[in-house]
Every structure is written in C-alpha cells, then in structure tokens.
Structure 1
Amino acid sequence: MKSTGLNTGAILLGLTLGVCITNGFARFAYGLILPAMRADLDWSYTQAGWINTANALGYIIGAMLTLLIVQRIPAARIFQWGMGLTVVFLIATAFTHDYSLLTLWRLLTGIGGAMAFIAGGALAAALHPDKQSRNALAIAIYYGVGGGLGMVLSGAGLPWLFHHYPPAIWPYSWGLMGLVSAIFLPLCLWAAQQLHPPVKPATPPQGHLPLGRMIFQILGYFGFGLGYIVYVTFLVAWMKRGFDTATLISAVWITMGLGIMLSPFIWRPLLARFRSGIPLAAILITMAAGGLLPLVLPSVLGLILSAALFGASVFMAPSAVTSFCRLNLPPERWGRAVSLFTVVFAVGQTIGPIAAGALGDITGDIGQSLAAGGAILALGALVALLQKPL
C-alpha cells in the first residue's frame, strides 16, 4: 500500500473504530444495559446471562466461518461484511422486547463481530508489512485502543441515560450505540477497501500440534474465556446493591476502557521475554485480583482499582497465547495453533454468562458469580504457570 502518513493514520483509525463497535459496543456494553433490561423485562440472572451466551455462540460461529473462508475471500471483504452485520443487528436490538428475537439479534451480532475482529487484525498487520516496529504498534493500537475506546464512550454516556430515565429506556441505549456505529461505519468500510493483503492459498497441514505439551496453556486460556466474561457481564448488576450511582458506574467503565487502551504498552516487555506460560499466568492473576477486589474491598476505591487492574489485563490474554505460539512453534503451525486457542476461548466465553447467571439465581447473590469468575481466573493462572517452553 502506497500512502501518506496521514492516509495510513486514517486507515488505522477506521479499523480501530471497527473494534470500538464490535467489542466496546456490541459485546461489552451489554454489562451496562443488563440491569435496566432485567428490571424492565423481569428477567432472572440466568435469562440475562443467556443473552450474552447467545452473543458468544455467535462469536464461535463467526470465528469458525472466518477461518473457513479467509483463504478464499479477501480479508477486506470479510471485515466489511462483518461490520455491516454487526451494525445492522446492533440497531435491530433497539426495536424488540421479544426474548427470542433479542437472542437471535445478539447471536447475529456475535457472528458479525467475530468476522470483523479477526479479519481486521489481518488488515492492521498489512499496514506496515516491511517495518516491524510500526507493524507491532499498529496491531497494538487496533486491539487495545479500539475496544477501550468503545468502553470509554459507552461508559461516558449510558450510565447517565439510566440515571435520568426509568429502566424502560434501555432500547434507546442500543439505538444510541447503533447511531454512533452507523456514523463510524463509512470510515471503517473505506479503511478496509484501502488494504489488500494477499489471500494465501490453503496449504496441507504440516505436522501435528504438540497438544500434550501445550495442555496447560490451553487449559489456562479456557479459564480466561470462562472467567473474564462473568466480570464484564455482571459487575454493574452487582453494583446495583450499594454502588448504584451514575458517576461511579461511569468512572468504573471508563477506567476499564482506559486500562485496555494502555495495556499493550504495559505488557509488551513481558510478552517478548518468556516462551513459557508465565505471561499468561501473570495476566490472569492480575485479572483475578481485579475481579475479586470489589468483593474483598467493597468501596469506591476498591471498584476503581478493580476496573484498572482488570482493564489493564483483559485484552492481553490473546496476545499472550499468540506470542506463545510464535515463540514456540514453526511459522507454518501458527495459524492452526491460534485457531485452536480461539475456539477454546470462545467455548469458555459461551459457558460463562449463563453459568454465572444460574449461580446468581440459585444463591440469590450475583456476587457469588463474581467470586466464582475470579476464582476461575486464579485457577487458570496457576495452571498456565505449569506451562513449559515447547
């Protein structure tokens, strides 16, 4: 791609706004909206959790679909399809109260989000193919700044909407995010159109992955998928029991978003240094500490510190396993290994919300679900610590 620095910056901005939509709005913002939807629609925690499980199921389908077609269809086109699908059904969520349709719209949003997120990563990597340092920075901005920006924007606006209006206002929250996404969408589509990374033809598998020797990294990453989603889904619902102010909810969500935006720069030295499971273990124990802190220190300070720790680590677990694959496996096996970790993560992410919701209903305390999510992250850290270099 021949372009000016200004043009390259605009392209990266367009791709990054894609992650803002697919992750910050379409996936994570549900945690802000869940309490209002639950109150207005008289849902149990299990029903509320299922809505996010449906989104995670869509992510599995979208990820598998992308892996199947990426060797035949340009990444730019996959990204554009995924973005269009995500924005359409993000908006559609604002126009129904029907539980079955909400489930379907969340499923389709997950499919589109996964397609755009995965293909967008390939596009970001094509921005500076011959300049390794700039390429690494572009990828870090894409993954970190995009999702964090979505959380900052949703955290700055939605808590105040629910503060000034009754829970029945929740459709407008989806509509507002859909409107912002529709404004961002043309730049996202244009950015993808400027990049044309080569479509790599399918190649026969070359050797087997050493699954037995990777097992602790695999299990640790499964724990990440299972545990992190509980915190993101139900933290604000837990805050309704004594920390239900728009100012605090907004501050927590914005702090988490800023942590995500800074996280690539915080963790980069550790990721490059170790070939073992130490980076993933360190990231998971940081997340576990963040996830459990509100329960141990139920205060404004505890919540802000919790959000900072969690935000500064949550997006880095995928980077840890990607780095593990690159440092331990030959290049021809990287794609298969990363695909395996993607599926493992997605399965955990699918189980987490509905299981946590069911636990909240059984115990009558959604705090028990947060505790379980934090414990799973801590256990995942201990397991990942056992992973040796291959």
Structure 2
Amino acid sequence: MKSTGTILLGLTLGVCITNGFARFAYGLILPAMRADLGWSYTQAGWINTANALGYIVGAMLTLAIVQRVPAARIFQWGMAITVAFLIATALTQNYALLSAWRLLTGIGGAMAFIAGGALAAALHPDSQSRNALAIAIYYGVGGGLGMVLSGAALPWLFDHYPPSVWPLSWALMGGTSLLFLPLCLWAAQQLHPPVKPAATTTGRLPLGRMAAQILGYFCFGLGYIVYVTFLVAWMKRGFDTAALIAAVWVVMGLGIMASPFVWRPLLARYASGLPLACVMATMTAGALLPLAMPSALGLMLSAALFGVSVFMAPSAVTSFCRLNLPPQRWGRSVSLFTVVFAVGQTIGPIAAGALGDLTGDIGQSLAAGGAILALGAVIALAQRPLSA
C-alpha cells in the first residue's frame, strides 16, 4: 500500500469539500445572497434545508448500495457530484436551480462522507490505536480545515466587493475543490475494504430503552444547523467586520480540528447518554453566548465552544452504539441515528428562517436553536446504559 499518510490526506480533503465547503460555508455566503437576491430569511433557510434533504437522500442511497458497491466507488461518485454542483451553484441566480444544485450537493456529500468513513477505518486494520486516530483525523480535521480555509478568505471578499460578488465565492470553493479532487479520487482507489454481505439479525433494536439518546440526537440535528446557518447573518447587526467574521469562522474550524483529541477519553468511558449530554451542553453555551455577551470576546468564545463540540455528537452516538449493542447491530443503530439527525438538520434552517421573518429578529432564531440544544442535553442525560 502507498503511504497511509498521503491516503488519509486525500480522504480528509474530501471532508473539507463535503462539509467545510459544501455544507458549512453557506453560512458565510448567505448574507450576500440574501442582500443581492432579495430573499427573506425563510427563503435563505430553505437553501440549506434543500442541502439537508439531499443529505437524507444520499445517506439512504449509500446505506442501500453499500452492501453491493465498493466504498471507494461510492466515495468517488459522491466527490464528483459534490464538486460539480458546487461549481454549478456559481453559475445561476435562479432560485429553483440553486435549490436543486444544493440538493444534489447534499446527495453527493452524504455519499462521500459516509463511504469515506468506511475507507478511513480500513487504513490500519491491525492497529486499533492508529485506526482510531485515522478516523478522528478524517472526521475532525477535514471539516475544520474547510471552515478555516473558507473563513480565512470569504469574509474579505465580501468586505471589498458588493453582495453581487457571491457567485465568485462558490466558484473559488469549486475551483479549490477541483484542485483537491484528484488526490481524493486517488486515495479512495488505494483502499479496498471488503464488501460485506448484509448481516442477518433476528432481534430488534431496543428503541424504547434508546429513546432518550435518539430524541437528544434529533435535537442536536435541529439545533446545531441554526447556529451554523444564521450566525453570520446575525453578526451583520453590528459585528460585521471582515476581520471578526473571519476570526470567528477560523476559530470554529480550529475547534473542530482539535475536538476529537479533547473528547476521546469521555466518549470511551461512559456507556450512558452523559457524553452526548456534555457535548450538547457545551454547544448550548457556544450557541447562546453571542446573545448573552454581544461582543467580539463573546463571539470568539462562542466559536471556540461550538467548534470544539459540534462534530463530537456523531462520535458520542457511535460510541454509545458500540458500548451498548452487539457488533451485528452497530450498522443498523448508527444508520438510525444518521436518519434522525438528518431529519432534524432538514427542519432547522427553514424553521429558523421562518421564525426570523415572523419576529423580524434572526437573533430569536439563534436563541431557539440554543434552547433546543439545551433540551437535547437534558434529554440525553436521562439515557442509561442499555445493560442497566
């Protein structure tokens, strides 16, 4: 096998594209698109809801074909779709087409993200510690890197040019993704994890005893996306300097990159809902800080707390499944949590946009998102180990 470091870099750049660019960077671009195209908050929220709908479709498609199609091929298809429609987003101002391109970007992003996780897990099959590190780098560093790169560049673009420059921001991310794409495709080609036949299981998942974790995770999907989508739009009310927006986004990205190493001991130790509750409590503090402390310091602390926790909720539920269920049920349980998260993530942007339009204050939407995260933390805290 070629250098595992280079292969991991290629996979990680895939997450940089699918999450950092294709999903999260919209929060940076939304204010310019809204100003140029005359959108309401609801219309702006729908664009991210369309992307989240695509994620549901892509996740279900991946889960349907993963038993028959190699993960490397799914990853390559997903990356090609994502990059193609990132670029396409720069080429139209038509609302229906923008919605369609965001939907398709979500489909490709889910395919690549899920399949890439399987590929990263195959890098070090004979070393559990190195395997865990590779997975942590894939999930954490990839998404964080995309936020650091977009956060370091796009606020300055919007500071120097009128809102109508927004297509260039998508073109810049699409062009950067094109540069990354060959390494992503090559990396996937080097890995050949076996295509396993679907496991036959007789018992059902103990959904009743998992209810607190499931509901808590739904609140995560519903609440986190509100902050990511509308934070910069809220900052336009008095904290809209390019330097501050860039700093907030970069700090959030750096927090994401550091998060796997911060939370790993807690995730491995507890089989209850405590890890998810702690992660969501940290996110709650980050989400509400801008409203409680409306200052540059409050925003920076908010970004740090939110960044260091947001990517760890999926890790918390994955760890919960592994510590509480037999291996033959891991796939089904993680798939269930994926769908629950995706549904929440789909509702969040358009509901928050509608609330912002109704109240005339997008800060009310940020407050609602933080309250939902707090509720999810309380619910998750009630989850007991399934063996208890």
TM bracket (short chain): over 0.9
Shift of 1:206: 3.0
Matched letter for residue 126 of structure 1: A
Q: Which residue number in structure 1 is paired with residue 150 of structure 2? A: 154
Q: Which residue number in structure 2 is paired with residue 298 of structure 1? A: 294
Q: Which residue number in structure 2 is paired with residue 164 of structure 1? A: 160
Matched letter for residue 336 of structure 2: L
| Structure 1 residues 1-390: aligned runs within 5 Å | 2-3=1-2, 7-390=3-386
Q: Is the 8 A contact 2:199 2:328 kept in 1?
A: no
Give a deviation string over 1:66-103, Cα, whole Å, max 9, x none: 00000000000000000000000000000000000000
Matched letter for residue 34 of structure 2: R
Q: Is the 8 A contact 2:272 2:383 kept in 1?
A: yes
| Distance in 1 (alpha carbons) for counterparts of 2:320 and 2:126 | 23
Q: TM-score by structure 1 length?
A: 0.99
Q: Is the 8 A contact 1:206 1:333 kept in 2?
A: no
| Distance in 2 (alpha carbons) for counterparts of 1:87 and 1:244 | 29
Give a deviation string over 1:304-327, Cα, whole Å, max 9, x none: 000000000000000000000000
SS at match of 2:338: helix
Q: TM-score by structure 2 length?
A: 0.99
Aligned structure 1 segments of 4 or more residues deviating by more than 2 angstroms: 203-206
Shift of 1:203: 2.5
| Distance in 1 (alpha carbons) for counterparts of 2:199 and 2:273 | 29
| Distance in 2 (alpha carbons) for counterparts of 1:162 and 1:364 | 24
| Distance in 1 (alpha carbons) for counterparts of 2:330 and 2:6 | 30
Shift of 1:164: 0.1
Matched letter for residue 211 of structure 1: L
Structure 2: which 5+ residue stretches go unaligned? none
Farther-moved stretch of structure 1 (217-226 vs 202-211): 202-211
Matched letter for residue 165 of structure 1: Y
Shift of 1:377: 0.1
| Distance in 2 (alpha carbons) for counterparts of 1:206 and 1:50 | 40
| Distance in 1 (alpha carbons) for counterparts of 2:137 and 2:240 | 32
Shift of 1:205: 2.9
Give a deviation string over 1:135-168, Cα, whole Å, max 9, x none: 0000000000000000000000000000000000
SS at match of 1:212: coil
Q: Is the 8 A contact 1:206 1:332 kept in 2?
A: no
Matched letter for residue 258 of structure 1: L
Matched letter for residue 115 of structure 2: A
Matched letter for residue 238 of structure 1: W
| Distance in 2 (alpha carbons) for counterparts of 1:217 and 1:378 | 14
Shift of 1:266: 0.2
- Percent sequence identity is 84
Shift of 1:328: 0.2
Q: Is the 8 A contact 2:50 2:100 kept in 1?
A: yes
SS at match of 2:210: helix
Shift of 1:202: 1.7
Q: How many residues are treated as equivalent by the alignment?
A: 386
Q: CA RMSD in A?
A: 0.4
Matched letter for residue 304 of structure 1: M
